[in-house]
Amino acid sequence: MSDLIKISGARIRKAVVHKLELLDRISLGTINVGAVEAKQAALVLKPGGLALHGVRVQARLQPQVKWQFNPKGPLNFHDTYTLDPATLDVTLPDLVLPPPPQGFQLNLAIGDVTIPNLAVSVDPILAAQTPAIVADLIIEQLATGSVVLPTGGFQMSGIGLTEMTLRNLAIAGLTLGETTVGRVRSAGRIPIPRLALAGIQLPGTAASDVDIQGIQITIPLSGFTPAKGGMRSDPLDVDFEVALSGSITLTASSLRLSSVQLTGSLKSLELRGLDLGFDAQGLRIAPVDIEDVKTDEVRLAHAP
């Protein structure tokens, strides 16, 4: 024998879940992301102070001398001498630079950034962290197809009733008391093809220190106008030219920005090819107010 309840064409105009509480945990496990694309990323740093640590200055100078000796006749003597390069290597103590002027900031235009094949392990969300998941959740215009429940789930012993059908049943409103759910989970992974967020403004951070490691700046010494000189007289002319080339390299083990306030923005953030699992253990729903319930047919059947 089997018993069933079949509800056809159920419609609920509005249902309000006043509170959904977490009693144990929600586990998401590992979230796989095919690609993360950040469009037009930009950062603004406002440092309160600047300091250089482990400063070293290396200079390499290459002088070159050209001369010409003209005794005002058919003879003309000239030559070029390239002298041995001069090098300078100085290690300086830590440099604390003067505070930047009011309104000074560093604007970093990062542009578009793509991170492929990202896997993120998410710690469980525990009831102690967020006991109330949602409050006053409103569901409107809920319609279902045929609902059959349960098979062999109830007994109609002692009642001489084989079948009962109610048509066009309407209930103005009802309230469901506290409901506890032991576990809700996805049987497999949940695919999300694309998730996009636009116009993201990153909130300003509290003042903190930022260390930028391995600073190196090389300044080439080129394009300088050579120093020229000479002497003119009736018997002869003497001309000379001194040119200088080389480079100056400044290295620092770190650049410390103190009392930095950081803000940023993203035109859009797009996550493609997500998949994740869902396992919620211990949920409590209480109460639920339901308004305007209508069904086309409710059928109670007792079959041999």
Beta strands in the chain (DSSP E): 2-8, 11-27, 30-46, 49-70, 77-82, 86-92, 95-97, 106-121, 125-126, 132-143, 147-149, 163-176, 179-185, 190-202, 208-221, 227-232, 237-276, 279-285, 288-303
Number of Cβ within 10 Å of residue 275's Cβ equals 15
CA 130, 132, 135, 137 torsion-angle sign: positive
Could you tell me the residue ranges of all domains in the chain?
A: 2-303
Query: How many beta carbons lie within 10 A of that of residue 45, not counting itself?
Result: 17
Mean pLDDT by 10 residues, the chain (304 residues): 72 88 88 90 87 89 78 68 82 86 85 89 85 82 76 55 77 84 87 88 77 86 74 73 85 87 88 89 87 84 62
**Cβ(288)–Cβ(176) below 8 Å:** yes
- CA distances 225 to 78, 243, 244, Å, are 20, 7, 9
Tokens 């950034």 correspond to 113
Compute CA distances 270 → 36, 68, 114, 215, whole Å: 6, 68, 10, 33
Phi-psi region of 172 (alpha: psi -120 to 50; beta: other; left: phi over 0): alpha
- Closest-CA residue to 36 (of 92, 104, 118): 118
Copy the structure tokens of residue 296: 């086309």
CA dist., res. 114 & res. 101, Å (int): 35
Say what the pTM is. Answer: 0.55
What backbone phi and psi angles, to 5 degrees, belong to 273?
A: 70, 45
Rounded to 5°, the CA angle 286-288-292 comes to 170
pLDDT at residue 249 in the model: 92
Closest to 9 (Cα-Cα) out of 297, 302, 303: 297
* Residue 61, both tokens: 């100078």
Distance CA 302, CA 159 (A): 11
